Structure 1
Amino acid sequence: MAGNPTEVQVQESLGGLSAGDPASAGLLKQVPENLDLRDTIRSECVQHSLQFEPSQGLSKEELEAAARLILIKLQLPECYVGWTMVVLSNEFWRTRVTAVPLPRRLMLLPKESVNNGEFDQVRSQAESLGVTVHVAEASPEVMQLLFSNSIEAIVGVASLDVLEKALDMILLSGVPALAVPLLDEESGSPFDSEWVAELLRWTPLDHCSRESRYATILRSARSMFEPAELVRLVPRLRGGPSLAEVNGAGASALEPIAATETIAHDFLALGGKYARPFITLAAYQAMSQPTESDRSTSNGQPEIPDAVRRVALSIEIFHKASLVHDDIEDADEFRYGRPTLHRAHGLPTAINVGDYLIGLGYSLVSRESASLGADVVGDIVDILADAHLRLSEGQGAELLWRDARNKLLSVQDALEIYALKTSPAFEAALLSGLRCAGPLGENQSRLREFCRYLGIAFQILNDLKDWQGDQDNKLHAGLDTLGGRPTVLWALAIDGLSESHCQELMQLVGTSLPSNEKVEKVRELYVQSHVFSQADQLVAQYQTQALSIANEIEPACLQRLLQYLVETVLFGSAKIAESVSQPNAEG
């Protein structure tokens, strides 16, 4: 074996192919051919991991540099870089995972594990230890499991390609994760079974500290909307029974004065991704405790003042108010898998509940002057009002276009509507959280620009998701098109189709064809004009611009948060673009 590599050798290696370079993707993801070679690399990774500082975090670039250094030292080719990065990541997370009790760990198995004897043994071993087992690969369902209050660590078996793509998410989120890459088919075994057994045998260590992570903050954001905590933070002033307590009799069974408050509270607790309140809480925590591990309460939730939590609640309340009004304006039938408020309680009541929520959101902030200071509250109210105005302008532009006879729409106009409709919510959430922690400073204009790029990319991604269907919200695919809403997909199709096909597309909106036939005809035209792949390219473009700004922001704690937001908010875009291009992709 060679001695320690020089800095020049490492830099020369890094100057060549990179794990982040698409051209090198297949060259850097080879699994070492035999067990002895894999054990040799693993042993060196264990030694190298002693240099890691667990409290400092680890970037993918640092992980790649360490992997290349190890391969140079062992005189092995760089084709093993991806595999070595996964092993190093395991060692980085080892003590964090062992701090998590077995029943709070999640084992992820690949789809190939179904009805496979070797995987069945692993499943039985894991379940006998109390570990939750789930078959999935990087799916949104996995993210939901992670952000529940029951899972705190992952042990996964998957292809090297899947694991390497997941490293960004794992490293940024701080969710401790261990992984074993699948082997090549020629190896005769799907994975190193002893390695998996070893990871499962790692047992909890009471003395290991649990470093704060974004998943904990997201759980905290979600917990604010659980009925008991919601009532604590936003007391019900009118009292009376909840909707559930009136046994399905509806709002008519409620005391009239209390009905609006009751319906509003019920709607707030229904569900959602809670991205906006999470951003507020995470921004506050990043800037209020930037140099030390975040403190947590006895139940594992971050120690954030109730005043800040109410500011975060107000962001989500404004969002929920906009959903009530959007559902009315768009004649949507479902929200969170239930009938929309105007279907459940009637149009006048739904409009009134939306108005009530707007007032409730502002009151939560305005009443915290004693806790936050009058100047802070004034700045936050100004941030919220500005976002509210721009969001309404964007929605108004959408409604005018939807009701116009001329359905021509430029890509630039569609993107400007997105910037008005979606970006202000991210901006309000981020800036409000930062303002709770202190003055906004010189980063303010760049942060607004960051939110613009993130919001536009997020909305394009939502357009793509609309063609998958959405079990939480719309239930059926293609509803934005059926509703005649201006989307960038529509604009891209208008720009890319021939004149005759363009006319065919515009005529489809007003036809009396059954909805499923109309959607499939539009899908065919979208595929013909490469709309889905172009939309995916736009997401990547805005994602790159957002990351570019994030990488310039100081301090480092805020930079890490912005990087994490880009990775999580825009998670899975390429897979969505690919799936919606296929016929019968609904649901």
Structure 2
Amino acid sequence: METATPTAPLPLVSLPRAVPEMPTRPPQENIPQTRGERELILRQVKDYVAESENDLTPPLVLDELRQRAEALIARHGIDPKYVDYVGIVLSNEVWREQLSTVPYDRRLLLLPKCLRVEDRCPAPFDEFGLLCKQCGLCSIQDLQEEAERLGYAVLVAEGSALVMALIQTGKIEAIVGVSCISVLERAFPYMESAAIPGVAIPLLQDDCKDTAVDVEWVWDFIHTTSDDRTRRLDLDALRKDVESWFEPSTLDALFGGPAASETETLARAELTRAGKRWRPFLSVCVHQALQDDPHAPVPDALRQVAVAVECFHKASLIHDDIEDGDTLRYGEPTLHATHGVPAAINVGDLLIGEGYRLLAESGFPPDVRAAMTAIAARGHRTLCLGQGEELLWARSPKPLGSRKVLEIFRQKTAPAFGVALELGAAAARAEPEVFETLRKYSDALGIAYQIRDDLDDFAPSADAPDDIAALRPSLPLAVGYEQAKTEPELRPILARAWRRERVNGSASPERLRALLDQFDSVERSRRMMEGYKEEAIRSLPGLTNPSLKGLLRRVIGKIFSVEIQGWCSEFEARNAAGGQSVAEASR
């Protein structure tokens, strides 16, 4: 069991590797317009495939695929113009199980060259397609690197003849592809006749200009393997299950009865308040992934651990609101705003005590409970050190660089994710190397999550604090100050904001936002967020458990919505041909 010393110093925070950044634009008309809509259709298709499992044998002929897609559209009230999209998603899910049984080194990843940044792409072409130069300008590099690391053959090219030639060699037994709907429609007969597992993630546009794809779907299919026993685990259903544990009646049962005092009533009310429940969800995910049967019911002891994680989290929010002077949380008055600071501090302390009590009284063996207590204590200590850094800064405020702000994030936010992940691993008696990977993963995930909060707070709303108006340390403010080093007239304005000088005019919140926009601070911060998300993904290859590795990758997709984009100039030829493909236009 993991027993690392609680006083081990944290390594210095490092900036993530830059990720490609491309502009976004709406999907074409026959593709659902938002990621949420597409995810909903995916869930509906998965449910349909699960209930029709004995009646679906791939490959489905085109007529049957369309009939089933139309039936799905009628059942769920989906816009009929999405029938081709639904059919592609359905075909993918029908093939998923067979794809998972094909070894990685017998698969082909086929990417379109329109994902490259054509104006700046240094890659040459040969008869097989684009030869990526690993310049990092587009997402082809990351997808190709990961697929080749797993053992895939990778082509960045279009053309069914080339694919069929590879299939006929007998070395390729499955294909994962990315393409536009129009190309997929023409390629379907070839895939059907080859009768090998083939999935295709559709591009969101088919004009080869600023094309985008739901990248998490690409990663999902690339890593699909029968060794991952969690691949059928419904994360949305599991999360709803976790959320149900925080209903008042469920909490009363867990704590042994109704609250016996006003302090207990306030504490339980905090647990039932709005929140995303990501942290208890992560504990459950890790534990289930490490079981022989990830679909087995969640044990009662683990429920106690999950509620303990939320106790720690809500306690930290109560104390954080007091220390930051925030009077709103989730769009409602904070506890100290309604009941006073002393009572709020006491409720936060009670929740911390309840968290440790739940760990100590859970049904796990004594050595597991001891390990979980140590994990929680280490995380608690690190979080307090991070909050202390911010509080000390507030006593004598001065400009902070982005690295220092990120270090505060790593100490304030990452520990909560780390504790959640490690408690699930400890409950499952994971090997020591799992804990090391989880720490790297949680560091990157926590920083990315806090950056997203900063970006959300940059645009004030009724239910979110305004870091700019409150003059709190934030990454956009740090980035803006760094970018203003060549602007001697403007940098002092940002310095005054860092010193928390509340004045109108030059350092008003509106003026500060305008300056940060001028220095592209929000976009630069967003790129850092993307970089840390990639860092979290890159920490996973060290895991030898495919179920845990696959699940942690999917969790990132649940917490963050990601799309990748790219460019190519084929749209010019296609538009000149009246909307036809380049191949058709050249005939």
TM-score scaled by length of structure 1: 0.61
- For these two proteins, the number of residue pairs brought into alignment is 415
C-alpha RMSD over aligned residues: 4.6
How big is the shift at 1:81?
Answer: 4.0
- Kept after mapping to 2: 8 A contact 1:173/1:564: no
Q: Indicate yes or no: 2:206 matched with 1:217.
A: no
Q: Offset of 1:523 from its aligned partner?
A: 0.9
Q: Equivalent residue for 1:392? A: 384
Decide which of 82, 87, 107 is 2:179's aligned counterpart: 82
Note if 1:364 corresponds to 2:358.
yes
Distance 1:392 1:76, change over 3 A: same
Match of 1:193 in 2: none
**1:37-78 deviation line (CA, Å, top 9, x unaligned):** x98x99999889765417959999979549999975578999
Moved more, 436-445 or 343-352: 436-445
Tell me the CA shift for residue 365 of structure 1. Answer: 0.5
Structure 1 range deviating more: 323-332 or 495-504: 495-504
Return closer, same or farther for 1:345/1:437 CA change in 2, 3 Å cut-off: same
Matched, 1:466 2:457: yes
Query: Is 1:228 matched with 2:220?
Result: no
Structure with larger RCO (C-alpha < 8 A, sep 6+): 2
2:428 to 423, 437, 440: 437
Give the conservation status (yes or no) of the 8 Å contact 2:180–2:204. no
Q: Secondary structure at the match of 1:53?
A: helix
Per-residue Cα deviation, 1:333-369 (whole angstroms, up to 9, x for no partner) = 111221100111111111111111111111111112x
Structure 1 CA distance, aligned partners of 2:439 and 2:159? 43
Could you tell me which residue of structure 1 aligns to residue 489 of structure 2? 500
Q: Where does structure 2 lack aligned partners over 5 or more consecutive residues?
A: 1-18, 32-61, 67-83, 113-153, 165-174, 189-201, 225-230, 566-587
Q: Could you say if the C-alpha distance between residues 456 and 466 of structure 1 is closer, same or farther in structure 2, counting changes exceeding 3 Å?
A: same
Give the 5 Å matches for 1:242-281: 258-281=261-284
Which one has a larger percent helix, Structure 1 or Structure 2? 1
Any idea what the Cα deviations from partners look like across 1:246-275, whole Å, max 9, x if unmatched? Answer: xxxxxxxxxxxx010001111110110000
- Distance across 2 between alignment mates of 1:569 and 1:511: 35
Matching residue of 1:167 = 217
Change (3 A) 1:85 1:420: farther
Q: 1:543 & 1:522 partners in 2: Cα distance?
A: 28
User: 2:346: which partner in 1?
Assistant: 352
Partner of 1:372, secondary structure, is coil
Match of 1:446 in 2: 437
| 2:532 paired residue among 534, 542, 557 | 542
**2:324 matched to which residue of 1?**
330
Q: What is the 5 A alignment of 1:59-208?
A: 65=110, 72-73=159-160, 81-83=178-180, 164-165=214-215, 167=217
| 3-state DSSP of counterpart to 2:508 | helix
Deviation at 1:388, TM superposition (A): 0.2
Aligned to 1:5: none
Gaps of 5+ in 1: 1-19, 92-155, 175-209, 240-257, 296-302, 576-587
Q: What corresponds to 1:480 in structure 2? A: 467
User: In the TM superposition, what is the alpha-carbon distance from 1:566 to its structure 2 partner?
Assistant: 2.5
What is the TM-score with the length of structure 2 in the denominator?
A: 0.61
Deviation at 1:222, TM superposition (A): 0.8
1:82 maps to amino acid: S
Alignment-derived partner of residue 564 in structure 1: 554
| Residues 59 and 447 of structure 1, relative CA distance in 2, 3 Å threshold | farther
Q: Which amino acid aligns with 2:394?
A: R
How far has the Cα of 1:172 moved from its partner? Answer: 10
Is the Cα contact below 8 Å between 1:314 and 1:364 reproduced in 2?
A: yes
- Cα distance in 2 for partners of 1:519, 1:59 equals 56
Over the matched positions of the two proteins, sequence identity in percent amounts to 29
1:386-414 per-residue CA deviation (whole Å, 9 max, x = no partner) reads 0000000000101111221x422122211
Secondary structure of 2:427 counterpart: helix
